Amino acid sequence: EVKLLESGGGLVQPGGSLRLSCAASGFTFTDFYMSWIRQPPGKAPEWLGVIRNKANGYTTEYNPSVKGRFTISRDNTQNILYLQMNTLRAKDTAIYYCARSKTTEGPGYFDYWGQGVMVTVSS
């Protein structure tokens, strides 16, 4: 059974940093593209970025809205996906999800999502 479990959320002051983790199980982690997606309360999801699979060199691509502040990485020995968030702003307040791409050929669609973790940026 595929499982994705996020952790690391919480309250952070503006300008601060936070690292989210997503523990993956039930599938061959290195075969899949993995993304982070966030959703402000009551709003639509926003794709933040992707880290590609082993076949594509684990390269990353980001939404311009967070490029330079957010970094996606993965530990392929422990099957963990990370999101490092720096210089956080109030507008970054949202539920953050990790998600697996449906195919092994591109980010495309997301067939499994974690339960989400809340990040609140406030003083």
Partner 1 sequence: DIQMTQSPASLSASLGETVTIECLASEDIYDILAWYQQKPGKSPQLLIYDASSLHTGVPSRFSGSGSGTQYSLKINSLQPEDFASYYCQNGLSAPLTFGSGTKLEIK
Question: Which residues here bind partner 1, judged by CB under 8 A?
Answer: 35, 43-47, 50, 61-65, 97, 102, 106-111, 113-116
Measured CA to CA in angstroms, residue 100 lies from 3, 4, 10, 37, 116 at distances of 10, 9, 23, 10, 13
- DSSP H/E element including 72: strand 70-75
* Residue among 82 and 110 whose Cβ is closer to partner 1: 110
Minimum CB separation of residue 117 from partner 1 in Å reads 11
Reported as half-sphere exposure (CB side, CA atoms, 13 A), residue 59 has a value of 5
Minimum CB separation of residue 89 from partner 1 in Å reads 18
Minimum CB separation of residue 100 from partner 1 in Å reads 10
